[in-house]
Structure 1
Amino acid sequence: MVGQESLSLRRLKEFQPLGRLSDDQLVLLANRAERRLHGRGQRVIERGVRDGMDFFLVSGQVELESGDGRKFRIDAGSDQAVNPIARLQPRMYTVTAVKPSEFLVIRQDMLTQLLRSAPVHQVEMQSGEVSGEPESEEHQLLMEFYAELRTNQLALPSVPDVARKVRRLVDREDTAAEQVASAVAADPALAAKLVRACNSALYRGFSDVRNVREAVIRLGMRTTRQLVTVFCMREIFRSNRPALQKEMDRLWKHSREVAALCWVLADSVTSLDPEEALLAGLLHDIGVVPVLVQAEHHEKLFSNQANLDHAIEELRGDMGAAVLENWAFPSRFLDAVRHAEDWAWDSPESSPQLADVVIVAQLHAMIGANRSADLPLFEQVPSYRKLGELKLNASRSLQLLTEARARVDEVHRLLSIH
């Protein structure tokens, strides 16, 4: 069925990347797009197909199911519905309507063509001049990213095989510790890291563990899963080009600092799993990695730090969500990636979420790095107010982290295990 009532320009701009288009372009797009209605239980998208279409959820609720049986739901109007549903092609998910749902369906090639001629956000260059040329190097790169991201042509980093295998094993209810230990032991270097981590000050028991099986039993399955992924992440931040590796090292250093603060904040003022918060902090800038890799092929962009920084700012959330979507991570991690530097973000949940912890950790990390000039006051940040079990204020917050410095340093050592 096809919907009849037209969508307002304001509603269209709530979707990404439609918000980059001009009003005239949106009118043209709305006239050429298709509106589809699906009843409860109807299949919307089949996994594995490459249909060249973007599905934007206008109303209702859908369920996405991956090839390994993982399921999650998306409601219209939520953060997860801002981008096209199951956007990567070929489709990685089967999508089914849980409630009667309406979609705006747009041909990807048409949207790409519109984006290439979309207005350019003005960017101040290092020279002090303002760039607004539609054919600028930066604009071309941004449009290329959007086009390749939607058609799954962009080389996204892949999660290491052992981390993927361990995550899948732990997600199964019938998996034994011996099976997880066997999967970890297949990578001797990783196995050694896990044993050393288990014997560190953060996890040490009455005696040291001697092998991977004992480490898995002491840590527990969930903690083992998170730590295995954490230890594998360092390899993602690698490049063969020295100048690019310098950027990767800077990114890893910042991610490691945020991750350590996430661990302490989650453990001190929330009921969230500290290891899960650690991983969310480590992954919050994962979307920058493919931007840096792609920027290497655009000499003008890479040589101009202002241009590169703007490209990163524009794309980090979208790219990060695409990477974690590709890795089949839960939606709470995708929220943390999308909103890591969105100080005004306010989750509909009353209790703290992973994204809240990452946002607050980011604030502290930036203050610690003397980057507080453009930051809001703590009390103005909704995520900060949610970490309120200890009635935090600015002075209490900094005092808490000062007192916990030894634990932050211990997490740093954990992330530096070779």
Structure 2
Amino acid sequence: MSTENALLTILVEKIKNDTIVLPTLPAIALKVRRAADDPKINLNAMGDIIAQDPSLSARIIKISNSAYLGRAIKVTSVSQAVTRIGLSQIKNISTALAMEQLFVSKNELVRDYIAKMWAQTIESLSYSVAALQFYSKKRHLSLDTLTLASLVHNIGVLPILTEAERHEEVFANPQFLNTSIIKLSGHIGGKIMRQWDFDEQFVNIAEKWRDMSYQEEDASFIDFVRLGAALSGVFDSQKDAVLKICLDKKIIEDLSILDSPEFIDARTSAKSVFA
């Protein structure tokens, strides 16, 4: 059995036995998601929940004032920001803004990998979100859902890095980590999405975004996640294949759009939300 397969076996067994260190949603994100699922919740009550976390409050105000939402008139309070964003979007946006809290480590090598992963994730997100804004049939694809999907698509990397941190003498070397991340993270990512009780579309993206043999007939969130990954350099070996599929599905009308000032502005705006 290869070292990679041995690690996968270890991780799967730990999942079955509930002993694996899977990342948990930040407490404030969990509160917001539960509140958003309450049919009796209102904007004022949601604002009160978000106001419990100063960092999330500040970022919610920032995003409500950003070009990401296409708003020119500034808001200054959490209640105004929540009203602007709306209950239908606040669940995903709040979760997305809280995600950065998961990307921490005390081990130097693992910390470097996590920092690299977070930077790649934000770069990928910026391309995905910008592409959606230029997609002519985007009505059935929401910006906040794509934002969250882009942030969690590679979440399966975290338990691999956690194992590397706990057993650095075995797992914490760059070559092994690079191979393991590519081979194992999708399988584990799906497990995490299920544990977090995310919709099946998020499970599907976390499990299959690297698997180009999986294709959906119509343009979907996984296509935009793959496009973002390809344009940010994560998908080097399959970049041309991803671009061809996106052209065939009319996700992008022409590759020249990607170099246009308008596209670059949209990408910069999306990226600045998580800077």
Shift of residue 175, structure 1, vs aligned partner? 1.8
Residue in 2 that maps onto 1:398: 258
2:224 aligned with 1:357:
yes
- Structure with greater helix share of residues: 2
Which string of whole-angstrom CA distances, capped at 9 and with x for unpartnered residues, describes residues 391-410 of structure 1? Answer: x35x345346x631112111
C-alpha distance in 2 between matches for 1:397 and 1:194: 30
Rg larger for: 1
Residue in 2 that maps onto 1:239: 105
Which string of whole-angstrom CA distances, capped at 9 and with x for unpartnered residues, describes residues 3-41 of structure 1? Answer: xxxxxxxxxxxxxxxxxxxxxxxxxxxxxxxxxxxxxxx
Which string of whole-angstrom CA distances, capped at 9 and with x for unpartnered residues, describes residues 334-361 of structure 1? Answer: 11111222223212xx432211211122
C-alpha distance in 2 between matches for 1:155 and 1:297: 10
Residue in 1 that maps onto 2:7: 141
1:220 to 76, 86, 111: 86
Query: Could you state the TM-score of these two structures normalised by the residue count of structure 2?
Result: 0.90
Counterparts of 1:116-135 in structure 2, within 5 Å, are 119-120=1-2
2:220 aligned with 1:345:
no
**8 Å Cα contact 1:160/1:232 also seen in 2:** yes
Counterpart amino acid of residue 414 in structure 1? V
- Structure with greater strand share of residues: 1
**8 Å Cα contact 1:261/1:408 also seen in 2:** yes
1:320 to 178, 185, 189: 189
Structure 1 residues 150 and 396 mapped into 2: Cα distance closer, same or farther (>3 Å)? Answer: farther
SS for the counterpart of 1:190 is helix
Query: Could you state the TM-score of these two structures normalised by the residue count of structure 1?
Result: 0.60
RMSD across aligned positions (CA): 2.2
Which string of whole-angstrom CA distances, capped at 9 and with x for unpartnered residues, describes residues 352-376 of structure 1? Answer: 221121112211111xx7x73x225
Counterpart amino acid of residue 359 in structure 1? R
Structure 1 residues 346 and 273 mapped into 2: Cα distance closer, same or farther (>3 Å)? Answer: same
The answer to which structure, 1 or 2, has the higher relative contact order (CA under 8 A, 6+ apart) is 2
Shift of residue 202, structure 1, vs aligned partner? 2.5
SS for the counterpart of 1:337 is helix
C-alpha distance in 1 between matches for 2:105 and 2:60: 25
Residue in 1 that maps onto 2:266: 407
Structure 1 residues 228 and 403 mapped into 2: Cα distance closer, same or farther (>3 Å)? Answer: same
C-alpha distance in 1 between matches for 2:66 and 2:115: 24
**8 Å Cα contact 1:239/1:245 also seen in 2:** yes
2:49 aligned with 1:183:
yes
C-alpha distance in 2 between matches for 1:281 and 1:206: 25
**8 Å Cα contact 2:163/2:171 also seen in 1:** no
**8 Å Cα contact 2:164/2:172 also seen in 1:** no
Residue in 1 that maps onto 2:156: 287
Residue in 1 that maps onto 2:16: 150
2:142 aligned with 1:273:
yes
Counterpart amino acid of residue 365 in structure 1? S
**8 Å Cα contact 2:127/2:267 also seen in 1:** yes
1:375 to 238, 241, 251: 238
Shift of residue 381, structure 1, vs aligned partner? 5.5
User: Structure 2 regions of 5+ residues with no counterpart?
Assistant: none
Residue in 2 that maps onto 1:202: 68
2:120 aligned with 1:258:
no
* Identity value in percent: 22
